[in-house]
């Protein structure tokens, strides 16, 4: 059979992945994709909540491309509009009428955004948001939280560690001074935040967090924690920056800020906004965006806000706006998944840490003796499930992202598969 990718090679996933390593360094174009893999999947196609690999296996996917697909893969409502835009020129490097439509929809749906800029990825938008916060405040220090991932730019790719001091740079090749202007404390540690403000309040340009921690398992903010960040940043003249790359349009229409009623000074949105297209945005009040409105701060990008990406944004956000009960529906799917997975884990006599907000959920097997996440056990479970036709990420910190394409029956299949796999891996 010939696909749009060319003739089928007859290679197994394993052989194709090994072959890829000769051409693509590490076999992947994002380190995140290689983490924890025991048995690789090389994709042929995806639609709804299913991916098909090059061997012809079909898997129910609950990772769903790390979160952008609220309506499932290849949603016809969105893809039709993107395809039409390709036919009308998808990139001219000039302002386009779609800019107004897409920006207007973001501003309408996200409480903290009046004006914005579009970018190509969460990393770019976050890097630009930090730079803007520094331009607005004339300060440099940024407070971050352990486990919160803010992309891979030079000043934000940090190692773990949250003792209130500077974290170590997160990867080989970063300049030693990369974290010179970054502090880090544990998530939900109010006393540690208060100490940082007491010691450095006048130096802080920004406090940055995911309003729901989604990159280290799903961990909701403690009652009053986001309010504390809002109050302290306000009192000390720092900006509160919410990284809603995951939570934006996912946990509620207006993201974490709508769900928890705490409006930041700067917001970064990305994944669910573009239905899988590489697009992100950062924005805030008219006043906060002023350095960019006057071109004093610098943000650019040949492909930033290209017409195809913004068509994806406009189509996705219009669909979100029109779908009255969307978040009730997504929460129902999430609640069903949480209950069924909990049943499967309990039924197997195992223990797990499950976190969930709406359709975003994390499942991590734990060691019953220590309560710590059992990374190796999780990977074995993942592989056993994958062989049976269910895909979730081999790293337990990576959430499940459910969509309107997941039926109750799909979720039941996932839970039954987990039961069988747990029985197998216990042997
Ligand atoms: N911020 C959060 C919360 C993320 O989860 C991610 C990516 O997963 C990023 C930022 C980086 O976004 P990107 O990979 O589009 O650069």
**Per residue in 198-251, pLDDT tens?**
999 999 999 999 999 999 999 999 999 999 999 999 999 999 999 999 999 999
Residue 326 CA neighbour count, 13 Å, CB half: 20
Cα separation, 64 vs 54, in Å, equals: 18
Give the residue ranges of DSSP H helices in 158-306.
190-200, 225-236, 255-260, 290-293
Burial of residue 345 (number of CB atoms within 10 Å: 0-12, 13-18, 19+): buried
DSSP state of 64: G
Q: List ligand 1's pocket residues with C-beta within 6 A.
A: 66, 121-123, 126, 149-151, 210, 215, 243, 245-246, 270
Q: Which of 271, 327, 331, 410 is catalytic?
A: 271
**191 Cα–ligand 1 center, Å:** 27
Question: Which of 245, 248, 281, 357 gets mutated to test ligand 1 (max ligand atoms within 8 A of its CB)?
Answer: 245
- Distance, C-alpha 75 to centroid of its chain: 19
3-state secondary structure of 4: coil
Q: Which of 149, 260, 327, 391 is catalytic?
A: 149
pLDDT exceeds 70 at position 49: yes
The closest-lying atom of ligand 1 relative to the alpha carbon of residue 210 is: 3
3-state secondary structure of 174: coil
pLDDT exceeds 90 at position 45: yes
β 58-61/390-391 pair status: parallel
pLDDT exceeds 50 at position 1: no
Residues in the chain: 427
The whole-number average pLDDT for the span 14-40 is 95
Q: What is the pLDDT of residue 9?
A: 73
pLDDT tier, 165 (very low <50, low <70, confident <90, very high otherwise): confident
Cα separation, 47 vs 252, in Å, equals: 24
First to last CA, the chain: 40
Burial of residue 337 (number of CB atoms within 10 Å: 0-12, 13-18, 19+): buried
Summarised one tens digit per residue, pLDDT across range 259-284 is 999 999 999 999 999 999 999 999 99
- pTM summary value: 0.97
The whole-number average pLDDT for the span 180-195 is 96
Summarised one tens digit per residue, pLDDT across range 136-147 is 999 999 999 999
Predicted complex ipTM: 0.99
The residue whose CA is least distant from atom 1 of ligand 1 is 150
DSSP state of 31: G
Calculated CA dihedral for residues 123, 124, 129, 132, nearest 10 degrees: 150
**281 Cα–ligand 1 center, Å:** 12
* Cβ 119 vs Cβ 280: under 8 Å: yes
Cα separation, 377 vs 374, in Å, equals: 5
Summarised one tens digit per residue, pLDDT across range 310-331 is 999 999 999 999 998 999 999 9
pLDDT tier, 8 (very low <50, low <70, confident <90, very high otherwise): low
Question: Is residue 149 annotated as a catalytic residue, yes or no?
Answer: yes
* Cβ 82 vs Cβ 276: under 8 Å: no
The residue whose CA is least distant from atom 12 of ligand 1 is 122
**126 Cα–ligand 1 center, Å:** 9
* Cβ 122 vs Cβ 135: under 8 Å: no
Q: Which of 243, 265, 331, 410 is catalytic?
A: 243
Cα separation, 394 vs 373, in Å, equals: 13
**123 Cα–ligand 1 center, Å:** 6
Q: What is the DSSP string of 291-339?
A: HHHTT-S----TTTT-HHHHHHHHHHHHHHHH-TTHHHHHHHHHHHHHH
Rounded to the nearest integer, the mean pLDDT of the chain is: 96
pLDDT exceeds 70 at position 361: yes
> Considering only CA atoms, which of 331, 354, 338, 385 is closest in space to residue 60?
385
Question: Is residue 346 annotated as a catalytic residue, yes or no?
Answer: no
- Distance, C-alpha 234 to centroid of its chain: 27
* Domains delineated in the chain: 2-66+325-426 (3.90.1150.10), 76-322 (3.40.640.10)
* Cβ 156 vs Cβ 126: under 8 Å: yes
Question: Which of 122, 127, 216, 393 gets mutated to test ligand 1 (max ligand atoms within 8 A of its CB)?
Answer: 122
Question: Is residue 243 annotated as a catalytic residue, yes or no?
Answer: yes
Summarised one tens digit per residue, pLDDT across range 55-100 is 999 999 999 999 999 999 999 999 999 999 999 999 999 999 999 9
> Considering only CA atoms, which of 255, 265, 264, 270 is closest in space to residue 291?
265
Residue 143 β-bridge partners: 183, 207
The residue whose CA is least distant from atom 13 of ligand 1 is 122
């Amino acid at each position: 059979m010939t696909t749009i990718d060319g003739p089928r090679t007859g290679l197994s996933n394993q052989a194709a992945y090994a072959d890829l390593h000769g051409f693509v360094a590490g076999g992947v174009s994002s380190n995140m994709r290689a983490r924890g893999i025991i048995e690789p999947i090389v994709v042929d196609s995806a639609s709804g909540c299913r991916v098909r690999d090059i061997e012809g296996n079909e898997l129910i996917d609950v990772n769903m491309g790390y979160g952008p697909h609220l309506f499932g893969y290849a949603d016809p409502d969105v893809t039709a509009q993107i395809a039409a835009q390709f036919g009308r020129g998808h990139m001219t490097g000039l302002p386009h009428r779609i800019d107004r439509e897409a920006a207007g929809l973001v501003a309408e749906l996200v409480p903290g955004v009046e004006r914005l800029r579009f970018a190509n990825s969460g990393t770019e938008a976050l890097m630009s948001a930090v730079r803007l916060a520094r331009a607005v405040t004339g300060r440099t220090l940024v407070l971050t939280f352990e486990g919160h991932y803010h992309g891979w730019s030079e000043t934000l790719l940090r190692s773990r560690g949250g003792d209130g001091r500077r974290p170590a740079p997160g990867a080989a090749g970063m300049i030693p001074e990369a974290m010179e202007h970054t502090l880090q404390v544990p998530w939900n540690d109010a006393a540690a935040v208060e100490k940082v403000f007491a010691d450095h309040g006048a130096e802080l340009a920004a406090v940055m967090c995911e309003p729901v921690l989604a990159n280290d398992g799903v961990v909701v903010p403690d009652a009053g924690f986001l309010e504390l960040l809002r109050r302290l940043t306000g009192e000390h003249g720092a900006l509160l920056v919410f990284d809603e790359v995951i939570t934006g349009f996912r946990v509620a229409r207006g993201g974490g800020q709508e769900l928890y009623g705490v409006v930041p000074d700067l917001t970064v949105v990305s994944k669910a906004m573009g239905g899988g297209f590489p697009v992100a945005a950062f924005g805030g009040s008219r006043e906060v965006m002023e350095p960019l409105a006057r071109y004093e701060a610098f943000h650019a990008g040949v492909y930033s806000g290209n017409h195809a990406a913004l068509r994806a944004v406009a189509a996705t956000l219009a669909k979100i706006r029109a779908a009255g009960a969307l978040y009730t529906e997504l929460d129902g799917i999430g609640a069903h998944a949480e209950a069924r997975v909990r049943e499967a884990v309990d039924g197997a006599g195992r223990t797990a840490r499950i976190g969930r907000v709406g359709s975003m959920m994390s499942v991590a097997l734990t060691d019953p003796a220590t309560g710590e996440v059992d990374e190796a056990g999780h990977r074995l479970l993942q592989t056993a499930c994958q062989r049976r036709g269910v895909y979730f990420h081999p790293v337990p910190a990576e959430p499940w992202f459910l969509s309107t394409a997941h039926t109750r029956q799909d979720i039941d299949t996932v839970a039954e598969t987990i039961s069988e796999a747990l029985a197998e891996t216990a042997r």
